[in-house]
Amino acid sequence: MGVVEAVKSVEWEQESYPQYEDFVLLPLFALFFPTVRFFLDRFVFEKVGRQLIFGKGTQVVGTESEDQRKKIRKFKESAWKCVYFLSAEIFALSVTYNEPWLTKTKFFWIGPGDQAWPDQKYKFARVGSIVLALHDATDPFLEIGKISKYRGAEALASCSFVLFVLLWVLLRLIYYPFWILWSTSYEVIMFVDKEKHKVDGPIYYYIFNTLLFSLLVLHIYWFMLMFRMLVDQIKAGGKVSEDVRSDSEDEDPHED
């Protein structure tokens, strides 16, 4: 009961430094996600996967081949990822949809009354919330495409993959570098108090921007792989091939 009361007492909209009380959420998340996945895998994804992939006539467990069991495992994996990414995106949007920094990056660094806040250490939390929202918006389409491919719905798989690539380009290769990184590398300089943060200011600036620009490098690398996949799809007459970002998926027969 104490844990429930502690969770209810959290002021979710308050910005502050991390507190010891925040750790009360860690055990909940550590138990919540594996538990939800276990029940979804066992009672939802397994049954839905068999009906979609093999039809209603194939319901008996243990009679399918190794390839069929492997396809079911892949289906459950993609179904869980799709549910997780959709849930994470909905949660991220529910937190940020009415915040000014969702549409105007200058509010990453300033508070009420357009005044620069006296301490900027935790303002990258605002940036992080938008970065997470950008990333989770694209991944559900990739998983929907995989599920469609396992089902044999090549047209839906192709449409999902095209939407995935388009969102990837718009959000991760255009919006992310030209809005988010521009704000964290240039716009922040106009608002931060350089005199007050002579030492810690540059440390936070270079550490966080190094990580954020490293993420951009990964975006570009992954896009090159997806572009290769898109070319293969065109050559195959619109048929989607395996996801080139997860080559080990076909090599591990025990993946779940």
Q: Token match 């270079």: residue?
A: 206
Residue 145 has pLDDT above 50, yes or no: yes
pLDDT band at 85 (very low <50, low <70, confident <90, very high): very high
Provide the greatest CA pair distance for the chain: 73
Q: Assess if residue 22 is contained within a domain.
A: no
Q: Assess if residue 4 is contained within a domain.
A: no
| pLDDT tens sequence across 150-195 | 888 888 998 999 999 999 999 999 999 999 999 999 998 887 777 7
Q: Assess if residue 220 is contained within a domain.
A: yes
Q: Token match 């999902």: residue?
A: 160
Per-residue tokens: 216: 């951009």
Q: Assess if residue 3 is contained within a domain.
A: no
Q: Token match 């009380």: residue?
A: 21
Residue 142 has pLDDT above 60, yes or no: yes
Least confident of 26-40, 89-103, 178-192, 193-207: 193-207
Q: Assess if residue 126 is contained within a domain.
A: yes
C-alpha distances (whole Å) from 178 to each of 66, 138, 165, 169, 187 are 47, 18, 18, 12, 11
Report how many domains make up the chain. 1
Q: Token match 């909905």: residue?
A: 90
**What's the domain range around 70?**
31-249
Q: Assess if residue 8 is contained within a domain.
A: no
Q: What is the pTM of this model?
A: 0.79
